[in-house]
Amino acid sequence: MKTNLETKIVTKHYLPETAEILMPSDIQYGLDVSNRRILFDTDEIKAIKKFGDPGFELLGFKSLSCLQPHHYVKPGHFIYPDEKYVEGSSCLFNGLLKKCLEKQMFILCQFSARRNTPPRL
């Protein structure tokens, strides 16, 4: 039978020994590091998973000689100017590109496509 009622998902955690229902405050999250268990509460887990707002963040300028083949993970994103949205972006882009080529340097940025997604370099 099909209806247009909203589906509600409910997840419950049980204690295996007693079949007692665990409250969210009873659940501990942890990680084993060097034979020690490090525990986190739910707020700490949320903070760890939050990577920041979407966009680009300039991390710095590096010499091209520092760029090694093993640093390649995925294809990079190429940023290009768009005068429609940012006036003067073409001038800034051309100036940065020329200076980086002159000095044999590259610009390292961190890119987050969406909120709470891991950043890419």
Q: Mean pLDDT: which of 24-28, 31-35, 44-48 is highest?
A: 31-35
Q: What angle do CA 77, 82, 88 make, to 5 degrees?
A: 120
Range of the domain at 38: 13-49
Q: With respect to residue 42, please indicate whether it lies within any of the assigned structural domains.
A: yes
Q: State the CB neighbour count (10 A cutoff) for residue 79.
A: 13
Please check whether residue 3 lies inside any domain of the structure: no
- Give yes or no for a contact between 13 and 23, defined as CB atoms under 8 angstroms apart: no
Residues 75-101: what's their mean pLDDT? 88
Q: Is the pLDDT of residue 64 over 80?
A: yes
Closest CA to 97 of 107, 82, 88, 108: 107
Residue 120, in any domain of the structure: no
Same-domain check for residues 78 and 99: yes
pTM above 0.85?
A: no
Do 108 and 68 share a structural domain? yes
Regarding whether 43 and 61 lie in a shared domain, the answer is: no
Number of domains in the chain: 2
With bands split at pLDDT 50, 70 and 90, how would you rate the model's confidence at 74? confident
Please tell me whether residues 62 and 106 are part of one structural domain.
yes
Is the pLDDT at 98 greater than 90? The verdict is yes
Please tell me the predicted confidence (pLDDT) of residue 121. 65
Residue 48 neighbours by CB under 8 Å, 6+ apart: 40
Structure-block tokens of residue 62 = 């590096």
Same domain? 22 vs 67: no
Which has more pLDDT, 113 or 21?
21
Phi first, then psi, for residue 61 (nearest 5°) are -115, 135
